[in-house]
Structure formats: C-alpha cells, structure tokens
Structure 1
Amino acid sequence: MSEPTTLSAPASAPARERNSAGKLDRRPAPTTRKQPSALLSKTAVTAILALAALYTLLPMLWLIMSSTKSRQDLFATNGFAPGHGFALFSNLSHLFTTDNGIYLRWIINTVLYAGLGALLATVFSVAAGYAFDKLAFPAKEKIFALVLIGVMVPATAMAIPLYLIAAKVGLVNTYWGVFIPGLVFPFGVYLARVFSAAYVPDEVLEAARLDGAGEFKAFLRIAFPMLGPAFVTIFLFQFTQIWNSFFLPLVMLSDQKLYPVNLGLYDWYSSALSQGHPEDYLLAVVGSLVSVAPLIILFLMLQRYWKAGMTAGAVK
C-alpha cells in the first residue's frame, strides 16, 4: 500500500496564525504602503521656497532697476532691464529737492510716527502682557478676552471710528491724530503674555518679593531684562505696521506737511495718473525704494534678537 500523502499549502499563500481559541485567524494580512521618496519631498519644498523667493524679490528687483533709469527710459525699456544711463544719483537729488524737500519732511514724520510710537506701544504692551500673566486682579481673563477681540479687528475697520472720535476732541489733521492710535497694539499684549510665561519664572519673582521688592520693582529690575527678545520682537512688528500704515493717515490728515511717506508717495502717484505729471511717477518709484531702506536696515540690526524672540518656548 502506498503511504498517505499530505497536502501542503502553496508557497505563495500567506501563513495564517491560530488565535487563542485554536481557530484560524482570517483577518487579511497587513499591506505595506510605499513611502514617498525623500528626494521628491526635498524637490517639492525647494520649488515652493524658490517660488516664494521670486514672489518676494522680483518687485524689489523691479524697484531697484526702475530707480536707476531716467524718465524716458522708465517708460521705454523693460522693467527688469537697465536703462541707457545710470541715473540713480540724479533721481535721488531730484527726490530730496522737489517741493522744498517735502520728501525728507515725510520721512521725518514717519520716523516719529513709527519710531516713537512703536517704542511707547511696546513698553505698554510688555507691561500689560506681564500683568496678565503674573498678576492676579478681578476679571483678568475677561479683560484679556477683549484684548483678543481687538487682535481680530482689522486696523482699516477702526479708521472711521477713530476719525469720528478725533473730530470730537479736535485731533483731525494734527500729528496726534495719527500718533495716539499707534500706541495701542493688542497683538503686542498677546505676544507679551506668551513671552512672559516662557521667559520669566514664577520662582524668581517670588524670591524677589520675599526680599522685599514691590511689583513695579520686580518687573523693572527682574522681568523686563528677561523680556528683552520679546521687546525687540514686538517693537519690530509695531514699527513695521505703523511705517506701512496708509488708510488711517489718509482719513485723518489733509495737511501735506503732516503726511507719512506712504501717503506722500500715493499723492505723487495719483498726480502722475490723474493730472498727467509723469515726473511724479518717477518720484514715487525712487521714493518707494528709499522708504524701504530703513525697514531693511532695522531688521538686519535687530534680527538676532528677533529670531530669539520668535523661538521663545519652542524648546523646554
């Protein structure tokens, strides 16, 4: 008699394990998903960063090239191509002498609006953020919720109400009508509270209080130096916001001598379009290039503190 033969499962069939009851586990075998290629991911990220860089740098390149051209070359040549002569220095001379040097007056106005205004707004924001984080007072969270509501309201939506309030107290068409609203920075208060929680340990403040320091002294001598990166970060945000502010000065001011640089450039550009003064178009282009320079210099000077502030609390 021949020996009994045993049937074996095909080699290609997946082996099935028995569960605790001794029965075959009929669940489908897990499938492996193919992971995306690392090279493909790097290529996509590089392409996105390249597009972002082009989007940022191309307008600046056009501005630089156009500022070096004469009025004839500005309209007769390609925007990204150099003109027939290098006219940047003559354009700058014309810019600062037009209308008895009104452009320099606009720059000084903007430095006062943005520089002094951002400095005071940062001091108020850091002090308020510290108070919301470290001090206990009635209805603290409800008041902070109002601050967050102020963050969500766009500045352009507040321009008309601010104008009506300024008209009631006689601040329309004055320096204070633009300067005072810049002192309020709800987003800075929010950032200051976040930075205070990340940078200022409660134990250090408690030790200072035990040594007899009051709240103001503890803030000024201990907390404020720790909040240095936060101060620079909030100052840069508010300085840039006030420097680029346009709609509030447009509503509030009618005296050309009080204009910030953005409103003055708009006035020249409107004159070039509506009144047929092409020389004002070149003034607006060269003036735009000059107005960008202080922002670039400020960011380069303070970028070390700004980077430190932006990574606050990221690593414990």
Structure 2
Amino acid sequence: MSATATTAPPARTAPTPARGSARAHRPPRRRLSKAAVNGALLLSAAYMLFPLVWLVTAATKDAGGLLAGNALSFDGSDLAGNLARLADHGDGVYFRWYLNSLLYAGGGALVCSLICVAAGYAFDKYEFRGKEKLFGAVLMGVLVPTTALALPLYLLASTAGLVNTYWAVLVPVLVNPFGVYLARVFSAGYIPDEALEAARIDGAGELRAFWSIGLRMIMPGLVTVFLFQFTAIWNNFFLPLVMLSDQRLFPLSLGLYAWNSNAHAEPDFYPLVVTGSLLAVVPLVIAFVSLQRHWKAGLTAGSVK
C-alpha cells in the first residue's frame, strides 16, 4: 500500500503597489491633519505679526489719521514728518531714552549672562557644602515676582544713595535666578568633565579652564541667557518707574508711557508714541536675528564626535 504525498500549491503574492499610486491614495485624514497644522501655524504667525504690521502702517499717519480709525492703510507721506518731530521734540529726548535703554539692556544683559554662566558652571562642576540647599534658594528666587521686589529694592537703593541714578536700574538686573538654572543645565550638557581634567593636567588653573574651555563650550547657553535678559530689561517698566524721576534717565518704556499719558490731553503725542514704539522694536529684532546662529550651533553640538 503506497501513500501519495500531496503538495500545496504555491501561495500567490499580492502585487506591490507603485510609489506613485501610494501617494495618490494617501488617506484623507492624514492630508486633513497636515492642512490643519499648517493652518494653525499660519493663524498663529498672523496673530503675532499683526501688532508689528499695525505699528508700521500707523507710523505713517498723523494724529488725524490715527484718530480717524484708518491706521491699517499704508501712507508713507507722514513717516518722514513723524521721524523729524520725534527727533526734535524735547531737544531729542527720545534718542537719549534710546541710548539709556541700550545701556540698561545691553550692559546689564551682558554682565548678567556672564555672572549666571559662571554661577551655573560652579554649581555643576564643583562640590561644596550646602550646594543643593543654596541652589534650592536660587530656584526659590525664580518663584518670586519681580513686582514684589520693587519696593525692597527701592529701600535698599535709597539707603545706598543710588535712587535716581543709572545704577538704580543696572544693579538689580545683574543677577537672574532663572539664568543661573539655565546655565547649570547647559553646563551639564555641553561641558564634559574630561575636557576640564585634561586642562588641569596641562597646568591650567580653574579660572583659565573656565574662561578658555568652559565658556567656549557653553556659548549657546550664554546667548540664551543674554537674549532672555536683554528682552526682559528692554521691556522693563515697573523698576524704572519706582527708581527714576529724572526724565534724562528714563528708558524707552517709561518715556513712551509718559508721552502716552500726555496724549489724552494733547493728541499730537499719538504719532510720536506710535513711531517711537516702532523704532523700539528694532534692537530686539536685530538681537534675535544676529544671535540665532548660536542657537542652531547649540542644537547640533555633540551630534558629531
């Protein structure tokens, strides 16, 4: 008796769809989600750019054009006149405020970023008694609003005789607790301990190792702290309001606020406030555009060994 073995027929393989047909038959839900994301991004960009567009168009109007409600229509005929009146009003006090803001924001942010980076580097690379408790106190400083510190800072400045001087605005902005926290995070991520050990073996001191190696590696963190602090000081209003009474020491934020208060009684101040606000945006745009390459370098740092 012989048994016959039956063999199963070979399985048929389904044809592979062409790449073009796969793209043509993309699920509609995927296309809809992509369109929704792009639409949300466009709306967000329009929402954020609308005030800037309004400033550009409103700066080309005189007081009558602004009060008439057609500020969004562009008319460049009055822009040169507004700039001339801005430069002539109060013997050019606006540009003195501009220089004051550059001093407060530029100098204060630069010194503050260096202090924060040095403090964050020390918290990350050194061991000392009470380190974490001290860092916890720094983090508690992040939770305190700056407006709550205005009165104690004024009392301290009054005791030291610094009220109504440049130092009354500069000194309080030289330390930023959030900047110290960011600097410690950047130091842990960008500065390897091996590089510092190699520098110490070569005979470099601690200050030389920080200045020549650590500071160069943590440059993206330095730029980040600088931009945050520059923006915060440039837009700072409450601290100069408390500390300063001399108009020659005002920053732009306080000076434009004073002009805007006068505009309710004298409408001719409205074009000055709008044109001055437009010029006040320029340093922030320049700072972010010129320093963004350091952020890009920081994003790719460490990806190639």
Counterpart for residue 113 of structure 2: 122
Q: Work out the CA distance in 2 between the residues paired with 1:310 and 1:113.
A: 29
Moved over 3 A (4+): 307-316
* One of 162, 183, 188 as aligned partner of 2:174: 183
Report the Cα offset of residue 288 of structure 1: 0.1
**What are the within-5 Å matches in structure 2 for residues 40-55 of structure 1?**
40-55=32-47
Counterpart for residue 58 of structure 1: 50
**What are the within-5 Å matches in structure 2 for residues 244-283 of structure 1?**
244-273=235-264, 276-283=265-272
Give deviations 1:104-127, integer Å, cap 9, x for gaps. 100010011011111100110110
The amino acid that maps onto 1:107 is Y
Counterpart for residue 79 of structure 2: 88
CA 189–103 in structure 1, closer or farther in 2 if over 3 Å, else same: same
Task: Kindly indicate whether the alpha-carbon contact (under 8 Å) linking 2:61 and 2:71 is maintained by their aligned counterparts in 1.
Answer: no
Counterpart for residue 25 of structure 1: none
Counterpart for residue 297 of structure 1: 286
Report the Cα offset of residue 186 of structure 1: 1.0
Counterpart for residue 277 of structure 2: 288
TM-score (norm 2): 0.87
Identity of aligned residues (%): 58
CA radius of gyration, larger in: 1
Task: Kindly indicate whether the alpha-carbon contact (under 8 Å) linking 1:233 and 1:310 is maintained by their aligned counterparts in 2.
Answer: no
* One of 141, 146, 149 as aligned partner of 1:150: 141
Q: Work out the CA distance in 1 between the residues paired with 2:230 and 2:273.
A: 22
Counterpart for residue 174 of structure 1: 165
* One of 198, 206, 212 as aligned partner of 2:197: 206
Task: Kindly indicate whether the alpha-carbon contact (under 8 Å) linking 1:198 and 1:312 is maintained by their aligned counterparts in 2.
Answer: no
Give deviations 1:143-163, integer Å, cap 9, x for gaps. 111111112222222112211
Report the Cα offset of residue 311 of structure 1: 7.0
Tell me, yes or no, if structure 1 residue 69 matches structure 2 residue 61: yes
Using CA pairs under 8 Å that are at least 6 residues apart, name the structure with larger relative contact order, 1 or 2. Answer: 2
Q: Work out the CA distance in 1 between the residues paired with 2:184 and 2:302.
A: 12
Task: Kindly indicate whether the alpha-carbon contact (under 8 Å) linking 1:172 and 1:253 is maintained by their aligned counterparts in 2.
Answer: yes
Q: Work out the CA distance in 1 between the residues paired with 2:301 and 2:129.
A: 28
Local SS of the residue matching 2:268: helix
* Unaligned runs of at least 5 residues, structure 2: 1-26
Report the Cα offset of residue 131 of structure 1: 0.4
Report the Cα offset of residue 246 of structure 1: 0.5
Task: Kindly indicate whether the alpha-carbon contact (under 8 Å) linking 2:65 and 2:71 is maintained by their aligned counterparts in 1.
Answer: no
* Unaligned runs of at least 5 residues, structure 1: 1-34
Report the Cα offset of residue 315 of structure 1: 10
Q: Work out the CA distance in 1 between the residues paired with 2:230 and 2:299.
A: 16
Local SS of the residue matching 1:68: coil
CA 312–146 in structure 1, closer or farther in 2 if over 3 Å, else same: farther
Q: Work out the CA distance in 2 between the residues paired with 1:308 and 1:102.
A: 40
Q: Work out the CA distance in 1 between the residues paired with 2:97 and 2:220.
A: 30
Which range moves more in the overlay, 156-165 or 292-301? 156-165
Report the Cα offset of residue 70 of structure 1: 1.9
The amino acid that maps onto 2:190 is Y
Task: Kindly indicate whether the alpha-carbon contact (under 8 Å) linking 1:107 and 1:261 is maintained by their aligned counterparts in 2.
Answer: yes
Task: Kindly indicate whether the alpha-carbon contact (under 8 Å) linking 2:54 and 2:71 is maintained by their aligned counterparts in 1.
Answer: yes
The amino acid that maps onto 1:39 is R
CA 143–36 in structure 1, closer or farther in 2 if over 3 Å, else same: farther
Q: Work out the CA distance in 1 between the residues paired with 2:239 and 2:266.
A: 26
